[in-house]
Amino acid sequence: MALTVDQAVPGPDDRPATAAAPPVPGRTGRSGRGRRLLETALLVVLAVVMLFPVLWMLETSIKENRDVYAVPAQFIGFDVTLDHYRDVFVARGGEGRSDLSTAFVNSVVVAGLSTLLATLLGVPAAWAYSRFGLRAKKDQLFFILSTRFMPPVVVVIPIFLMYRELGLIDTELGLILIYAAFNVPFTIWMMKGFVDEVPAEYEDAAMLDGYTRLQAFWKVTLPLLVPGIAATAVFALIFSWNEFVFAIFLTSSQEVRTAPPAIAGLIGGTTVDWGLVAASAVVFAAPVLLFAWLVRKHLVAGVTLGAVRR
């Protein structure tokens, strides 16, 4: 029986499939483990570099003065003392409160009240900009944001002259108002994004049940904004807590001055008590870290809110 050319030479569809080469065992696993080890090592090095100043500050705050100025520097094997922390709160000689403790109390009052005021004003404003159609709304929002473009040192002289006429120089009320004024634009912009993520249909359904517009906002929308409010409050508190320019220009007495200029005043002269400076810095950082830890669940939820689009 004669064969045709097509029968003698098989086509591409008629050829048997070639079995794929089996993967080399262990190659992928070793490369994956090596990559993870490299990433872990890089993260450890980065963490050490970033945390070294903090660890050095903690060590300096519990060292004796002779160990602080020791050459070479002593990382271990030094005598531990808490005298520097006592000097932060108690005046030299053991009588009365120190100026630093007064400054810390002023910072708590000023930063806390300014953050609260900015939140009370910013959250309803952000809700209004999100829910209502306003004329030139984008231009208004840009103008609100533009108030944060200028650094404080640019506007501190006009504010000082205005405060002098109003009698707000060297008062806690003056610092609270100026910090709140700088935090309100930030609060509005940040909270508007959170409000946009809450469907307006929730409020419409509440109003169909008999609630007014404000009642729907208070009972339905506001509880859903708690994570965003926590995240915004943390950032506003950090600004008020760390602010230096207004605090140094608008206050002069130790009874009103906040912690940043008070700690800066420790550095100067012929000798510097670095142990006291380090202890003051540790105490100064503690309240913000504590507040962030208390609202950590809401903070993480607030920062990630809106990551997945509806």
Q: What is the pLDDT of residues 180-202, one digit of tens each?
A: 999 999 899 889 888 988 888 99
Q: Is the pLDDT of residue 304 over 80?
A: no
| C-alpha to C-alpha distance for 137 and 193, rounded to whole angstroms | 15
pLDDT in tens, 245-294: 999 999 988 889 999 999 888 887 677 888 888 999 999 988 888 888 88
Alpha-carbon dihedral angle through residues 291, 196, 303, 310, given to the nearest 10 degrees? 150
pLDDT in tens, 195-237: 988 888 999 999 998 889 989 999 999 998 888 898 888 889 9
Task: Say what the pLDDT of residue 250 is.
Answer: 92
Mean pLDDT of 172-176: 94
List phi, psi (to 5°) of 211.
Answer: -75, 150
pLDDT band of residue 106 (cuts 50, 70, 90) is: very high
Task: Say what the pLDDT of residue 105 is.
Answer: 92
Mean pLDDT of 19-39: 68
pLDDT band of residue 301 (cuts 50, 70, 90) is: low
Query: Which is higher by pLDDT, 51 or 32?
Result: 51
Three state DSSP letters for the chain: CCCCHHHHCCCCCCCCCCCCCCCCCCHHHHHHHHHHHHHHHHHHHHHHHHHHHHHHHHHHHCECHHHHCCCCCCCCCCCECCHHHHHHHECCCCCCECHHHHHHHHHHHHHHHHHHHHHHHHHHHHHHHHHCCCCCHHHHHHHHHHCCCCCHHHHHHHHHHHHHHHCCCCCHHHHHHHHHHHHHHHHHHHHHHHHHCCCCHHHHHHHHCCCCHHHHHHHHHHHHCHHHHHHHHHHHHHHHHHCCHHHHHHCCCCCCCCHHHHHHCCCCCCCCCHHHHHHHHHHHHHHHHHHHHHCHHHHHHHHHCCCCCC
Q: What percent of the chain shows pLDDT beyond 90?
A: 31
Which domains, from first to last, does the chain contain? 101-304 (1.10.3720.10)
Q: Is the pLDDT of residue 28 over 60?
A: no
pLDDT band of residue 32 (cuts 50, 70, 90) is: confident
Q: What does pLDDT average to over the chain?
A: 83
Q: Is the pLDDT of residue 157 over 70?
A: yes
**What is the number of alpha carbons within 13 Å of residue 243 lying toward its C-beta?**
32
Task: Say what the pLDDT of residue 5 is.
Answer: 46
| C-alpha to C-alpha distance for 157 and 136, rounded to whole angstroms | 31
